Structure 1
């Protein structure tokens, strides 16, 4: 940024005309974080509805990238993984690089927005509210057990 401070009127006659400004390279760096909210399960069932039995999930092979715009929520089921809830109700398990004890997830976690808009295994990390990061080792699709 150029800043020019004018001289007093008596001194302006003594000043030479300024040389034209040389163009400069400007780099703008931006970091976008996407916050994924932890799903909370109500502790008391609704009086008019019968309680549903718990769902058992089975892991299956899946793609190793997830579109970030499809992330709707997350559930912490084990210290080495995070279950992602995607738009449309699909679920995927993100396997992490070992135990991530800081994933007590006070109110969820963040992922850095990537240039391709995808969250990928072996490349991306998740960051807990405490600031620690865990690398995503792989994804598994979750389907209800029969």
Structure 2
């Protein structure tokens, strides 16, 4: 039996028979290349500034950069800083070069990580949803202060 798409020809010559099978027709193959270029924008929802802070924090020297994969959330605490809540419960305060009142206008802001997927002090900015941006001056590590009040 000859499969579909194959052509068979029976030739009769001088009392002998021969079957000639031709190759299946090959369809031309078309190739294309698609390149996708995109920018990742991480929207970090914030906690309202009117809510009281449940814990007092002690600031100490912080890292130069924070990996975006470690960020779990954020809270606007002052006009010149934002607390970044890390996965695992740690906190880092991003202090800005100047006050950044645009962050209070809408709830939320954007951080655009660079190609290394980190946000670094002295290099990166926080983008307010209203269009303003604030340069990050430094990061400070936050440690909860045990309250002496009872």
TM-score (norm. length: structure 1): 0.69
After superposition, the CA RMSD in angstroms is 2.3
1:35 equivalent in structure 2? 43
TM-score (norm. length: structure 2): 0.67
User: Which structure: greater strand fraction?
Assistant: 2
4+ residue segments displaced more than 3 Å: 26-29
Give 1:30 deviation, angstroms: 2.7
Equivalent residue pairs, number: 112
Give 1:55 deviation, angstroms: 1.3
Residue 131 of structure 1 aligns to a residue in which SS?
coil
Give 1:107 deviation, angstroms: 2.6
In 1: Cα distance, 2:54 partner to 2:127 partner: 29
2:93 equivalent in structure 1? 93
Residue 59 of structure 1 aligns to a residue in which SS?
strand
Check the 8 A contact 2:124/2:135 in 1, yes or no.
yes
Gaps of 5+ in 2: 1-33
Residues 72-87 of structure 1: matches in 2 within 5 Å?
72-87=72-87
Give 1:76 deviation, angstroms: 1.1
Gaps of 5+ in 1: 1-25, 44-52
Check the 8 A contact 2:113/2:124 in 1, yes or no.
no
Check the 8 A contact 1:94/1:139 in 2, yes or no.
yes
Distance 1:27 1:122, change over 3 A: farther
Q: Does 1:102 align with 2:102?
A: yes
Distance 1:101 1:116, change over 3 A: same
Q: Which has the larger radius of gyration?
A: 2
